[in-house]
Amino acid sequence: MKVYQTKEIRNVALIGGNRVGKTTLAEAMAFHGGVISRRGTVEDKNTISDYRDVELERQQSIQATVMYAEHDGCKINMIDCPGFDDFIGEVVGSLRVADTAMMVINAQNGVDVGAEIQWRWTKRMNVPVFFVVNELDHEKANFDETIRQLKHFFGNSVMPFQYPINAGIGFDSVIDLLQMKLLKFPVGGGKAIVEDIPASEKDKAEEMYNALVEAAAENDEALMDKFFEEGTLTEEEMARGLKLGIINRGTFPVLCVAAKTDQGVTRVMDIIKSSCPAPDEMAGVQTISGKTLACKTTDTPTAYVFKTSIEQHIGELSIMKIYGGEITEAMDMVNNKTNSKERLTSLLCVAGKNREKVEKAVAGDIVATIKLKGTQSSHTLVKSGDEMIVPTEYPEPKFRTAVKAKNSSDDEKLGAILNEFRKTDLTFLSEQSKELKQVIISGQGEQHLNIVKWIIEKLNKVEIEYYAPKIPYRETITKSAEAMYRHKKQSGGAGQFGEVHMLVEPYYEGMSNQTKYPIRGTDTYDLPWGGKLIFNNCIVGGAIDARFLPAILKGINERIEEGPLTGSYARDIVINIYDGKMHPVDSNELAFKLAGRQAFREAFKNAGPKILEPIYDVEVFVPSDRMGDVMTDLQGRRGVVMGMDSEGEFQIIRAKIPLAEMNKYSTTLSSITSGRASYGMKFAEYQQVPADVQSEIIKKYEEENKEDE
């Protein structure tokens, strides 16, 4: 393969809902680009894109797949993305390095859920968008209705570059408004036959062409002046104006294909070359130091790893976009995240399951390498210097479950497998929770974690089960209380004796000294799980030797890590040790540790104990017509609505909701809104639970954990 220069490269993410034909379109483009000799199909399970076992079984994309095609002196890098929202992380990672998003729309169904959700990500990440209306050869294809929906959902900047004249069975012709010609596609696909526009379509084509000319003029002040003076633009001026509009998200072109029968695909590739921006025509990417990298070959060699996958026979495959200079095979680079050296033992152009070695690649291109030691997704590799590209911001996990191996002998193996998942999926989290005594995994939805389960069981041969995750509550107190405990044990020989008197008080920021006892010394501890512990020595007269105070604190800490109400961490407590007794022979550290532990337990229970629960900020994007149902459901989850906004056809509900009420919310929300809503959530704070809820939590805990007295 030749070395393509930056101006000759186009990076395109194929996005859109599920089963709209993205993989089929990518397959046809790869075929015309000479990467494959025959086109496969999703049904026959022989495409170069959906090649992983889980994708073959489910006949849908699970991961984003990088491919390429060579077309008319241009290298088109394509990233075939999943359609389900549960795999949105794959879309986000792909949009980060794509210079254009090609959103595929099914002409039968129009704008679907996936299109709505992924559109918001293109807007958030400021990525230009083309719409590709697919399946125009289907008997239920309705192009005019699809255009109406596109304009309705995404605005009047949606501009057809083509329109079909015989959508439905027998589709083979479009009016191409850029050429102002009729394109007739041969049976079996391929390059179109160019003909004059028939008289019956002249007026419609002229009207739509003039709208394009006006749209092109609106994107440049000089072009607008000329348009007002002369009423038209040259073909070159029109192309320049439209490209500016595309880059600035002021124009969203619409193209026409029937990918399965290969109708219109080569013309789409022509337009990608002529109208999609090259990498150096985009704004560039920001580094942590504030510098902008604009894909220049004159800059220091810099590459951003945006995807890591585990591939059969070769292991870890690191796929990266070059943002500066040129990189070559066997080049030594530095990972600025880990400060470790990495050698690019080989450079590969990736076409799904196929890979071709290359010796060099330049700024703007997407290539892969293997066997990097410590480089993962979102890491930056540089030849020299300390620049680090700002990592991609992925959506927070919003669906959690506890997991365990059915056979306890597989626990260690399961832990290693879960750690590996994080390398390939940055929207997946796994945590061995010491607090909850569970392994908690989190993802984007129930289907996301079901895919994780499938892979673990089918490919890694470890049987697992999911079960309800516990909630990381916190315990605290609301008033002062005193307690004493004497630990006395005599069983022949030296015994154990320790007596501790303590006063506990609630802690809050800015509090003054509340204790009625004189304080001789204070230690303040910031607890790892949040909040504070204040430990005051108020002993007078040597009632307890100072050498026993650390043992008392140790006993208290043991109880704080397993609170008396629910076994959760306790926080924000002031402890005053003001009296006690010791024995000249039988007192030791163990005795005072146990006495301190039990005294704290008794004092805590008498100090108006309260359970705090984690509260999350939840943002729900919901269609206006489903607003009432979603609001009712949120209120049933003890949600407090903090505000609402509108965005196009969507309402944005911002609420604070307890984590305990969010279990399987993604499944419920999908059911309520027919899959059209989406949401995100992020930890906000801890708040006291209502009294009735606290009683239920304590009762449930006591039933599950019969404490030994």
Q: How far is CA 708 from the centre of its chain?
A: 44
Q: Of 608, 623, 656, which residue constitutes the final position of a domain?
A: 608
- The answer to whether residue 492 scores a pLDDT higher than 70 is no
Does the pTM surpass 0.85? The reply is yes
Q: What is the pLDDT of residue 708?
A: 43
608-652: pLDDT as tens digits: 999 999 999 999 999 888 999 999 999 999 999 999 998 777 899
Secondary structure (3-state) at 356? strand
Together in a domain, 500 and 619:
no
Domain of 457? 399-470
Region for residue 462 given its phi and psi (left: phi exceeds 0; alpha: psi -120 to 50; beta: otherwise): beta
Together in a domain, 523 and 420:
no
- Could you tell me what percent of the chain has a pLDDT over 90? 78
- Reported as a pLDDT band with limits 50, 70 and 90, residue 385 is confident
391 falls within a domain? no
Q: Of 226, 258, 281, which residue constitutes the final position of a domain?
A: 281
Least-confidence region, from 501-505, 545-549, 700-704 = 700-704
How confident is the model over 160-165, as a mean pLDDT? 97
How confident is the model over 357-384, as a mean pLDDT? 94
Length of the chain: 709
- The answer to whether residue 514 scores a pLDDT higher than 70 is no
Q: What is the 3 state secondary structure string of 35-81? A: CCCCCCCCCCCCCCCCCCHHHHHHCCCCCCEEEEEEECCEEEEEEEC
CA 76 to each of CA 72, 488, 661: distance values in angstroms, whole numbers, following the listed order: 10, 80, 46
On whether the CB atoms of residues 556 and 597 are closer than 8 A, the answer is yes
Domain count, the chain: 5
516 falls within a domain? yes
Q: In 576-664, which ranges are continuous DSSP H helix?
A: 589-605, 627-636
282-310: pLDDT as tens digits: 999 999 999 999 999 999 999 999 999 98
How confident is the model over 361-367, as a mean pLDDT? 97
Q: What is the pLDDT of residue 315?
A: 86
Together in a domain, 337 and 377:
yes
Together in a domain, 427 and 501:
no
**For residues 250 and 247, what is the distance between their CA atoms, to the nearest angstrom?**
8
Q: What is the pLDDT of residue 236?
A: 84
- Reported as a pLDDT band with limits 50, 70 and 90, residue 163 is very high
628 falls within a domain? yes
Q: What CATH code is carried by the domain that includes residue 299?
A: 2.40.30.10
390 falls within a domain? no
Average pLDDT over the chain reads: 93
In the numeric block, which tokens belong to residue 612?
Answer: 């705090």
**For residues 133 and 254, what is the distance between their CA atoms, to the nearest angstrom?**
7
Helices (H) and strands (E) in the chain, counts: 16, 38
Together in a domain, 576 and 645:
no
Q: What is the pLDDT of residue 272?
A: 97
- Angle (CA) 284-285-289 rounded to 5° is 125
382 pairs with which residues across the strands?
302, 334
Together in a domain, 444 and 487:
no
Burial status of residue 86 (CB atoms within 10 A of its CB: 0-12, 13-18, 19 or more): buried
What is the helix (H) or strand (E) element at residue 691, kind and residue range?
helix 691-704
Q: Which of 323, 349, 282, 357 is nearest to 76 (CA)?
A: 349
How confident is the model over 204-219, as a mean pLDDT? 92
How confident is the model over 74-97, as a mean pLDDT? 96
In the numeric block, which tokens belong to residue 407?
Answer: 């056979």
Q: What is the pLDDT of residue 299?
A: 94
Q: Which of 707, 90, 88 is nearest to 377 (CA)?
A: 90
Q: Which of 94, 92, 81, 98 is nearest to 9 (CA)?
A: 98
388 falls within a domain? no
Together in a domain, 431 and 453:
yes
- Could you tell me what percent of the chain has a pLDDT over 70? 99
How confident is the model over 116-135, as a mean pLDDT? 95
**For residues 656 and 649, what is the distance between their CA atoms, to the nearest angstrom?**
23
Long-range contacts of 425-429 (CB under 8 A, 24+ apart): 425/89, 426/89, 426/93, 426/377, 426/378, 426/392, 426/394, 427/88, 427/89, 427/394, 427/395, 427/397, 428/89, 428/397, 428/452, 429/397
Together in a domain, 190 and 101:
yes
**For residues 384 and 332, what is the distance between their CA atoms, to the nearest angstrom?**
10
- Find all residues with CB under 8 Å of 416, minimum gap 6, and list them: none
DSSP character for 564?
Answer: T
216 falls within a domain? no
- Angle (CA) 108-111-114 rounded to 5° is 115
689 falls within a domain? yes
- Reported as a pLDDT band with limits 50, 70 and 90, residue 243 is very high
- The answer to whether residue 547 scores a pLDDT higher than 50 is yes
Q: What is the pLDDT of residue 231?
A: 79
Q: Determine the angle formed by the axes of helices 88-97 and 113-124, rounding to 10 degrees.
A: 40
- The answer to whether residue 343 scores a pLDDT higher than 70 is yes
Q: What is the pLDDT of residue 513?
A: 64
Together in a domain, 179 and 122:
yes
Together in a domain, 263 and 403:
no
Q: What CATH code is carried by the domain that includes residue 14?
A: 3.40.50.300
Q: Of 608, 635, 668, which residue constitutes the final position of a domain?
A: 608
- Reported as a pLDDT band with limits 50, 70 and 90, residue 26 is very high
Q: Determine the angle formed by the axes of helices 446-458 and 411-424, rounding to 10 degrees.
A: 120
Q: Which stretch, 35-39, 43-47, 254-258, 539-543, has highest mean pLDDT?
A: 254-258
- Reported as a pLDDT band with limits 50, 70 and 90, residue 220 is confident
Least-confidence region, from 6-15, 109-118, 223-232 = 223-232
- The answer to whether residue 267 scores a pLDDT higher than 80 is yes
Q: What CATH code is carried by the domain that includes residue 532?
A: 3.30.230.10
438-469: pLDDT as tens digits: 999 999 999 999 999 999 999 999 999 999 99
- Reported as a pLDDT band with limits 50, 70 and 90, residue 145 is very high
Together in a domain, 552 and 482:
yes
Q: What CATH code is carried by the domain that includes residue 413?
A: 3.30.70.870
Q: What is the pLDDT of residue 706?
A: 67
225 falls within a domain? no
Together in a domain, 59 and 140:
yes
**For residues 501 and 536, what is the distance between their CA atoms, to the nearest angstrom?**
12
- The answer to whether residue 709 scores a pLDDT higher than 60 is no
Residue in this structure with the two tokens 């301190």, named with its chain if needed: 596
